[in-house]
Amino acid sequence: MKKALLAISLGLILIPLVFAGCGKNVATAPQPSTGNSPATTTTSDNSSFNFILKYGVTAKNEIDTYQDKFTKDMISDPPITINLRLTNEEMERIYQKMIEIDFFSYPERFMVNVPPGEPTTIVTPFPIYQFTVEKDSQIKKLDWDDRIMNPDVKADRLRELINLIIDIIESKEDYKALPEPSGGYM
């Protein structure tokens, strides 16, 4: 009798825990801000636009325009996260550059293709880029390990976009106030 009562008690406790763990946790894309938050940017064509770009050798540098945050990779020290808001004009410049290079047609996993038999120039360490871009509720992801230096127009254009974003970030006083990282990558 005690065993049956114990089994029923355990069942009543464990069943809700098991079902609670069975829920799907689908977080495939960042969630845009709601309400009157300044984090949603409207482009010149009156559409919403936000993005996250992770970049660097370990992709620990991150600009997140949903949350108006920037995280700097400090290499051997913990990363530092600060509030960093891009202006509407800066967001518009970035969006227009994306349109100019046809960013939304790039594959989700971009790579430089080298024709067979052609020498390949590879650098190490190499930067990693991970984009998540939201335009009018449509999500575009793009990942790129930028290790191949052979000439490639699409790679050059993507680097132009990335350099534009990084230049905007690094021009901000809040960014300039951050300490320099210690150490380096090899």
Model confidence at 14: pLDDT above 70: no
Domains and CATH numbers, the chain: 45-176 (3.30.1560.10)
Whether 17 contacts 24, CB under 8 Å: no
Sorting pLDDT into bands at 50, 70 and 90, what band is 87? very high
**pLDDT tens track for 62-78:** 999 999 999 999 999 99
The DSSP bridge pattern shows strands 128-135 and 48-56 to be: antiparallel
Identify the pLDDT of residue 1. Answer: 41
Identify the pLDDT of residue 12. Answer: 38
d(CA 85, CA 82): 10
First to last CA, the chain: 67
Model confidence at 172: pLDDT above 70: yes
Sorting pLDDT into bands at 50, 70 and 90, what band is 186? confident
d(CA 160, CA 166): 10
Strands (E), the chain: 41-42, 48-56, 61-64, 69-72, 80-83, 109-110, 128-135, 138-145
Percent of the chain predicted with pLDDT > 90: 72
Q: What is the mean pLDDT of residues 125-143?
A: 97
Identify the pLDDT of residue 52. Answer: 99
Sorting pLDDT into bands at 50, 70 and 90, what band is 10? very low
Strands (E), 65-137: 69-72, 80-83, 109-110, 128-135
3-state secondary structure of 106: coil
Q: What is the mean pLDDT of residues 83-87?
A: 98
Least confident of 36-45, 111-120, 131-140: 36-45
Does residue 40 or residue 15 have the better pLDDT? Answer: 40
Q: What is the mean pLDDT of residues 145-154?
A: 97
Identify the pLDDT of residue 3. Answer: 41
Whether 134 contacts 30, CB under 8 Å: yes
Model confidence at 116: pLDDT above 60: yes
Sorting pLDDT into bands at 50, 70 and 90, what band is 41? low
With b for 16 or more beta-carbon neighbours within 10 A and e for fewer, the 24-38 pattern comes to eeeeebbeeeeeeee
